[in-house]
Amino acid sequence: MPPEIRFVIVAGLRTGSTLLVDLLDSHPEVRCEGELFAASACPSPGDYLRERLRTVAARAYGFHCKLGQVDSPMSWTFLKELHAAGWRIVHVRRRNLLRQAASAMIAQQRGVWHDRSGANAAAWQVHLDSKRFLQALGHAELADIAYRAVMDRLPHLLVRYEDDLLRPEFHQATADRIFHFLGLPAAPVTARYCRSVSRPLADCIANFDEVVRAVRKTRYGRFLDDPEYA
């Protein structure tokens, strides 16, 4: 019998979505998967999901989706159709775009997107090109605007990275809130992933002062005054 509870996690790059999928998947009645449409655009996402649901033996099923992974023009239509069919939507946002952009560039340079070993605590450093970093900030801002434009038109549960996922002590309360939203009983959750960039950015970026000077000259300088940027 297909899962009676279905949900989709809508989240962009470096927002804690992989961690959230892992937390929710640890519930005994939940099967939560990552990006089903990450490899390429899917011409018929509805058919693909129906086939996927036939293989799931769990009361609740969910997956992570980024906007644009089911053909950009279809993103709004796809999510609207899911909601109309009874799927519930969880949206994850990250408030500090500077830290989000830095996390993406650092992960790309290191080739480490997710960390299960705790090796993120090692004394590594990367050099970030200031011009490319400002471009990455611009892309992060545009993506955030696009996500908000879509999600403002759909009922959803909002999860904020800084308030709900940043620290391990937040995880259980966040998961319980989502389980309640889905109509599931609370259950203890565990995560296999560590924060991939947990040290202050000043310790991770070799040319940190140069990057800060470049950011201060732009409208993104406000993120430097956010205590979560460091």
What is the C-alpha separation between 30 and 58, in angstroms, rounded? Answer: 6
Q: Are strands 60-65 and 157-160 parallel, antiparallel or unpaired?
A: unpaired
Q: What pTM did the predictor assign?
A: 0.90
Residue at token pair 């409208």: 219
> pLDDT tens track of the chain, all 230 residues?
789 999 999 999 899 999 999 999 999 999 999 988 775 556 677 888 888 899 999 999 999 988 876 554 457 888 999 999 999 999 999 999 999 999 999 988 887 766 665 555 567 789 999 999 999 999 999 999 989 999 999 999 999 999 999 999 999 999 999 999 999 999 999 988 766 666 788 888 999 999 999 999 999 999 998 766 54
Per the structure, the count of domains in the chain is 1
| Residue 19 resides in a domain | yes
Residue at token pair 């009874």: 86
What is the C-alpha separation between 80 and 46, in angstroms, rounded? Answer: 12
| Residue 230 resides in a domain | no
Taking Cα atoms as reference points, which of 22, 10, 34 lies closest to residue 156? 10
The region that residue 86 occupies, defined by phi over 0 for left and psi between -120 and 50 for alpha, beta otherwise, is: left
| Residue 69 resides in a domain | yes
CATH number at residue 161: 3.40.50.300
Q: Which domain holds residue 85?
A: 5-225
